Structure formats: C-alpha cells, structure tokens
Amino acid sequence: QVQLVQSGAEVKKPGASVKVSCKASGYTFTSYDINWVRQATGQGLEWMGWMNPNSGNTGYAQKFQGRVTMTRNTSISTAYMELSSLRSEDTAVYYCAREVHYYGMDVWGQGTTVTVSS
Amino acid sequence: EIVLTQSPATLSLSPGERATLSCRASQSVSSYLAWYQQKPGQAPRLLIYDASNRATGIPARFSGSGSGTDFTLTISSLEPEDFAVYYCQQRSNFYTFGQGTKLEIK
C-alpha cells in the first residue's frame, strides 16, 4: 500500500540541526511532490515547504527561508528535511505528506517528534 | 502571505446535528482551498479539495462550498467519529493553513 514512513524521534540542543527522513513506498516516488508540515503541541498545522522529487526543485515558506533544506535520494525513495539553528520554538511533530497536483496532500507520514531542549 | 481565518474556534454539537465550519482568506484564493480532518495523535486526512470536491473515500455527509475568500465545510449529520479538529488550507500562493476549528461533542 501507499505509505510514507518517517524516521524516529529526535532530541536536539538549541543551535543544532536536525534531519528527518521520509521513505515512500507503494508508488513512484518521483511522480508526486513531498510537502513538510509541522505541528507544535496543542497548536495548528504549519506548512514549511515542498520538494519535487523528480527535479529536486524546492519552495520554502518565508518563515523558514535560510534555515530549512529539503532534499531527496531517489535511489531509495526517500525525502529529507533538515532544519538548522534550532530553538525551543521548533519543538514540534514534523510530517511529510505526498501531494497530488490539483488534488491535495493525500498520504501523510506518521510524524516525527523533534524536541529542542538544553 | 495569505492568512486563513477559521470560525468558530470551537463548535459544540451533538451526533445527528448539522455542522457548519467557516474559513475566510485574506485575499482571493479562487477555488484552491482544501479541508483536512485531524484526530488526536493522528496525521491529518484530506476531506475536500478545490473547495467542493470530496477526496476518495470521504462520506457524502461532508461537503464544501465557496470561492474567492469565503468557504464553508458542512457535515450534514454528525457521526461520533466526526468529532475532531478541522483545518482549511489554500494552495493559491504557496500554502497556508487556518488555525483550526475543534468540533466537540455537546
């Protein structure tokens, strides 16, 4: 079945970086964009950016410009999101989601909890 | 950045009742608006895309309407499993989500 499986929980210190992976299966990885969305505890959804796994093209929310990098390894059908200069406000669950053009984000990963604490 | 404002923040209803959730955009998003449902501890689930189209497998009791800046998600007769948080999301200019409406059991 179509699924996205994310890497496990991370605990980082302020100022460090974190890299979350998202492995796709059950479909052609390069045929659909991958979006990253985060959610702080008890808060709403926040879109971070998108990546086209075929071309590697990316688009980032202005809030994260300069701090986020989205990449992929097509040989293992895996997308990555790296966030640098972490601060406590970055503590959240990070989701990857497949996007079907002119449709929506129809398949989501299980989420990866990132905790930033000294 | 396009801001989406959802109302009400919390909606308290009973099973069988009709739910009406609102989403207003700070500028026109045409029909490029989706609705998602999220239950505690779960990832969001796509319900409606392009304002009024149900996603695959979504029951007919869910419907969406609107265009431009004002949108509505209607659940015609609430089932127990419908109590959750609902988010609207625009894709007209990058992407943004609304802050969510919590639909709780009265």
Q: Is the pLDDT of residue A102 over 90?
A: no
Q: Please, what is the average pLDDT of chain A?
A: 97
* pLDDT tens-place string over residues A65-75: 999 999 999 99
Instruction: Output the average pLDDT for chain B.
Output: 97
Token pair recorded at residue B27: 């500028």
pLDDT single digits (tens) A48-58: 999 999 999 99
Contact check, Cβ <8 Å, B87/A109? no
User: What integer pLDDT is reported at residue A95 of this predicted model?
Assistant: 98
Edge-first strand order for the sheet with A3-6 is A3-6, A18-25, A78-83, A68-73
Cα–Cα distance between A83 and A45 in angstroms, integer? 17
Give A116's strand partners.
A12
Measure the CA–CA gap between B42 and A81, rounded to whole angstroms: 20
How far is the first Cα of chain A from the last one, in angstroms, to the nearest whole number? 40
Cβ neighbours of B38 in A, within 8 Å: 45
Q: Are B77 and B18 in contact (CB under 8 A)?
A: yes
Task: Report how far apart, in Å, the C-alpha atoms of B32 and of each of A66, B57, B65, B74, B87 are.
Answer: 27, 20, 11, 17, 14
Between CA B96 and CA A21, with CA B87 as vertex, the angle to 5 degrees is 65
Residues of A in contact with B87 (CB under 8 A): 44-45
Q: Is A50 in Cβ contact with B49 (below 8 Å)? A: no
Strands B96-97 and A68-73: unpaired
Task: Please give the Cα distance from B19 to B105 (Å, whole number).
Answer: 11
**Digit-coded pLDDT (tens) for B16-58:** 999 999 999 999 999 999 999 999 999 999 999 999 999 999 9
